[in-house]
């Protein structure tokens, strides 16, 4: 047992030395090393750390250098990507069945008749996942001008889209796979049981109410914050109106609502892409600092 423990300890020491080994960099004036870490005269050895955050030894007359990543750039890039992907995905109408409340046996026939559209619709679920962070980033844009509305609208919208993807997206996959089974009667009974389950219906209700109320509030927040043009917030509100009316009047109106929210999402993505880092991470109500003049030597 002692031999095994000694061997295990040696493996841990080897792994530690490999994981925390300093990254070799060419630094002007780098001093000697102690224990493998940079050392400058008059300074203690530097401790191990993440390569991106480790101080590098430099001559005492120069400031120490630290390699960092500006998280504001990463945040804005993620916002632009998720808003763009979700906007394009929402604007593409992929309809497998005209009556998603019909019994599963009836929907199976539609899935068999439109198997290619059903496959594309399943793949589109991967892109629609971006709707969840997209709501948060849209609220982040409106936060400085309308913090309470942005917090409430963005939180409700993100929660609603998450609940919708879990419930309706899961049933969509079940219908697709059930339509390919030889025992469609058994598969239909299973899908029908899922659609009558209380948890499923709570998720659907959360999606319906959450994204109607949440996206309306989010649209008002974008409008009142003046973080984007007034019509961007109006598009978020118009989406809710068209999407709600479309379910009762005509599927074409519902398809138009997808185009509307797609344009709104792309407009928010464009506005975030044009936002400087100094203005992206400011607290509520703060103004962006004025640009400082750059001295040019003759």
- pLDDT average per 10 residues of sequence, the chain (298 residues): 55 47 41 45 46 45 56 92 96 83 87 90 94 96 93 96 94 92 90 93 95 95 93 95 87 90 96 91 67 55
Q: What is the pLDDT of residue 10?
A: 57
Residues 281 and 140: their CA atoms lie apart, in Å, by: 9
Q: What is the pLDDT of residue 290?
A: 60
Q: What is the enclosing helix (H) or strand (E) of 42?
A: none
Q: What is the pLDDT of residue 94?
A: 85
Residues 176 and 164: their CA atoms lie apart, in Å, by: 17
Residue 145's SS3 state is coil
Which neighbouring-strand residues pair with 34? Answer: 37
Rounded to 5 degrees, φ, ψ at 66 are -130, 130
- The answer to whether the beta carbons of residues 136 and 218 sit under 8 Å apart is no
Which neighbouring-strand residues pair with 37? Answer: 34
Q: What is the pLDDT of residue 56?
A: 44
Q: What is the pLDDT of residue 37?
A: 43
Q: What is the pLDDT of residue 98?
A: 76
Rounded to 5 degrees, φ, ψ at 55 are -70, 140
- The gap between the terminal CA atoms of the chain, to the nearest Å, is 75
Q: What is the pLDDT of residue 202?
A: 96
Q: What is the enclosing helix (H) or strand (E) of 260?
A: helix 251-273
- The answer to whether the beta carbons of residues 40 and 59 sit under 8 Å apart is yes
């Amino acid at each position: 047992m002692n031999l095994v423990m000694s061997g295990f300890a040696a493996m841990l020491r080897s792994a530690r030395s490999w994981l925390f080994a300093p990254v070799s960099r060419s630094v002007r004036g780098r001093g000697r090393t102690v224990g493998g870490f940079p050392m400058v005269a008059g300074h203690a050895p530097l401790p191990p750390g993440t390569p991106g955050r480790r101080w590098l030894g430099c001559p005492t007359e120069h400031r120490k250098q630290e390699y960092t990543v500006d998280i504001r750039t990463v945040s804005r890039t993620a916002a632009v990507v998720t808003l763009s992907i979700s906007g394009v995905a929402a604007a593409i109408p992929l309809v497998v069945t005209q009556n998603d409340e019909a019994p599963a046996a009836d929907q199976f026939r539609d899935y068999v008749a439109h198997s290619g559209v059903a496959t594309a619709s399943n793949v589109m679920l991967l892109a629609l996942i971006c709707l969840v962070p997209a709501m948060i980033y849209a609220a982040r844009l409106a936060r400085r001008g309308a913090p309470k509305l942005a917090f409430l609208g963005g939180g409700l919208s993100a929660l609603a889209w998450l609940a919708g993807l879990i419930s309706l997206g899961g049933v969509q996959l079940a219908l697709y796979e059930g339509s390919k089974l030889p025992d469609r009667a058994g598969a239909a009974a299973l899908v029908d049981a899922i659609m009558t389950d209380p948890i499923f219906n709570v998720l659907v209700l959360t999606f319906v109410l959450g994204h109607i109320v949440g996206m309306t509030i989010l649209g008002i927040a974008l409008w009142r914050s003046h973080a984007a043009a007034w019509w961007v917030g109006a598009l978020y509100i118009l989406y809710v109106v068209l999407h709600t009316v479309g379910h009762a009047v005509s599927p074409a109106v519902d398809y138009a609502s997808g185009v509307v929210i797609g344009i709104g999402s792309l407009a928010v993505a464009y506005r975030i892409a044009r936002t400087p880092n100094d203005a992206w991470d400011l607290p509520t109500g703060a103004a962006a600092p004025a640009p400082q003049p750059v001295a040019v030597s003759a």
